[in-house]
Amino acid sequence: MLFKLLIAFLLMAVCVMVHAIALTSAFRYVEARAISLGGESWRGTWLLSRIAAWTILSHLLQIVIWGFVYAAFDAIHGLTNAVYFSAVTYTTTGYGDLTLPEEWRIVGGIEALTGILMCGLSTGLFFGVFARIAGLLGPRSPAQ
């Protein structure tokens, strides 16, 4: 069980790193554009669409990483099934049509918690971008 916990925490750390890189690059992208909704809402909408797509790609990468590990250790048979199980677990949908063996169940729980945290970070990013382009937050000063 200790080995499975180590795997789960390493995967969580990888997810945090992947998501931090994705969010940081998204923030830099937004800051470089300085878009506001003043009269041209299509520009802000298009930016939000690109940010949403970018964050979903980040989540998908994390799901695939978990799936590869499940398949590599034969916790779920077959890569397609493993990635599907990972997606259902990461998003906390939990259909229950595929389940982990008993010794891997803690890993599934940690994946679900990781997914909740990463989705929360994405929500924060999306709110921050929306607030910036809607003018709810002023532009950052160079001293910040």
- CATH code assigned at 58: 1.10.287.70
How many structural domains are present in the chain? 1
**According to the model, what pLDDT value does residue 48 have?**
85
- Tell whether 138 is covered by a domain: no
Q: Which residues, other chains included, contact 15 with Cβ-Cβ below 8 Å and sequence gap of 6+?
A: 62, 65, 66, 114, 118
- Tell whether 104 is covered by a domain: yes
**According to the model, what pLDDT value does residue 125 have?**
85
**According to the model, what pLDDT value does residue 119 have?**
95
The pTM of the full predicted model, rounded to 2 decimals, is: 0.85
**According to the model, what pLDDT value does residue 35 have?**
59
- Tell whether 139 is covered by a domain: no
**According to the model, what pLDDT value does residue 38 have?**
57
* Domain region containing 26: 2-33+42-133
- Tell whether 74 is covered by a domain: yes
- Tell whether 85 is covered by a domain: yes
- Tell whether 105 is covered by a domain: yes
**According to the model, what pLDDT value does residue 47 have?**
83
- Tell whether 72 is covered by a domain: yes
Q: What is the pLDDT of residues 40-56, one digit of tens each?
A: 677 778 888 888 999 99
- Tell whether 77 is covered by a domain: yes
Per the CB < 8 A criterion, the answer to whether 47 and 35 are in contact is yes
Q: How far apart are CA 144 and CA 136, in angstroms?
A: 17
**According to the model, what pLDDT value does residue 37 have?**
53
Token pair, residue 84, equals 């599907």
Residues of the chain with pLDDT under 70: 34-40, 136-144
